[in-house]
Amino acid sequence: MPELPEVETVRRSLLPLVGRRIEVVEVREPRLRLRIAADFAVRLRGRSIEAIERRGKYLLFRLDGGLTLLAHLGMSGALLVQPTRTGAVHDHVCLQLDDARFLVLNDPRRFGILKLGRGEDFRELRNVGPDPLSEQVTAERLYAATRRRKKPIKNLLMDQGLLAGIGNIYANEMLYVAGVRPTRPAGRLSRAEVQRLYEAMRAVLQDAIQLGGSSISDYRDGDGRTGYFQLTLKVYDRAGQPCDRCGTTVRRIVQAGRSSFYCRVCQR
C-alpha cells in the first residue's frame, strides 16, 4: 500500500498524538516481517510521544528518553487511532494512550515493521536516501546519479537508497508525466529528460500528498480516511484502457518482478 504520499498522510493524521503517553502495550501477534522483540511492551510502556517524523516510507515516533519507535507499513499495514479497542482481525499491536484512545497496527499481510531503538540507530534506515521533495535532491544530482547506470529508470526511481519513498504506483505515474518509458536504461536519459522527470516527480508526489495519497484497495490514514489520488492515476493499473492524452492502449509489462504500465506513444 503505502508509498511516500500515503506514509506522509498517515504521519500528518497522527500528529495530534504528540504529547500523549502510552499507558498499555498489547502485542497480539509478534510475527510481522521482523518478529517484535520480547521486551517491546516493557520498553514502550509509559513513554510519551514527542514528535512523529518520516524517512522515506518509515515513520519514526520520537519518545522521551531518546527512544524511537520505528514503523513501516509494508504492503497492507495501517496505523489507526480508535476510540475503543475493537480487537479486529489483523489488529496485531494495540497501544492505549493516556486520553483513553488507542493506536492500532492492523496489517493483514504482516509485511510491516515495529521496532524500538535509540535515535536514528536502525539498520533499516542505513539504506534510506534523501527525500525526493527535499532541497538535497536537485535535477542536477538526479542526472549525475543516473550516469553509467544500465538499470531501467523505473527500477532506479524505486531504489530507496537513491531516493526514499517512491514505490510502484508513483514510479509509473511520474514516468508517464515525464514522457519517459520505464524500460529506458537510466544512463541513457538526456539532461532534458532527467529535468522533466525531476519536475514530474515533485509534481506527482506533491499532488498525491495534497489528495491524501492513493487508496487502491484498503489504504486508510490514522483516522480511517481514504485518499483520492487514485482517481487521478494516468497509467497505474490501467492496462488495456486508453491513454488519457492520446487514446493508445496502456500496456502492462513486468520489470524486476513488478508491474509497469506505460503508453508507448506518449512515453519514449
Partner DNA sequence: CGCACCCCCTGCCGGC
Partner DNA sequence: TGCCGGCAGGGGGTGC
> Where on the chain is the footprint of DNA (CB under 7 A)?
1-3, 6, 31, 33, 56-58, 72, 74-76, 89-90, 108-111, 124, 127, 149-152, 155, 158, 160, 167-169, 213-219, 254-259
Q: Active-site residue 3, yes or no?
A: yes
- Residue with Cβ nearer DNA (16 or 108): 108
Residue type, 254: V
- Residue with Cβ nearer DNA (45 or 251): 251
Active-site residue, selected from the candidate residues 55, 57, 184, 238: 57
Half-sphere exposure of 192 (CA within 13 A, CB side): 1
Distance CA 102, CA 97 (A): 6
In the complex, what is the shortest distance from the CB of residue 108 to DNA, in angstroms, rounded to a whole number? 4
Distance CA 137, CA 143 (A): 10
Q: Active-site residue 152, yes or no?
A: no
In the complex, what is the shortest distance from the CB of residue 228 to DNA, in angstroms, rounded to a whole number? 12
- Residue with Cβ nearer DNA (109 or 245): 109
**3-state SS assignment for residue 193:** helix
Distance CA 98, CA 72 (A): 24
In the complex, what is the shortest distance from the CB of residue 48 to DNA, in angstroms, rounded to a whole number? 27
Q: Active-site residue 47, yes or no?
A: no
Distance CA 112, CA 13 (A): 19
Cell numbers that stand for 19 in this block: 504529547
The residues carrying an active-site annotation are: 2-3, 57, 258
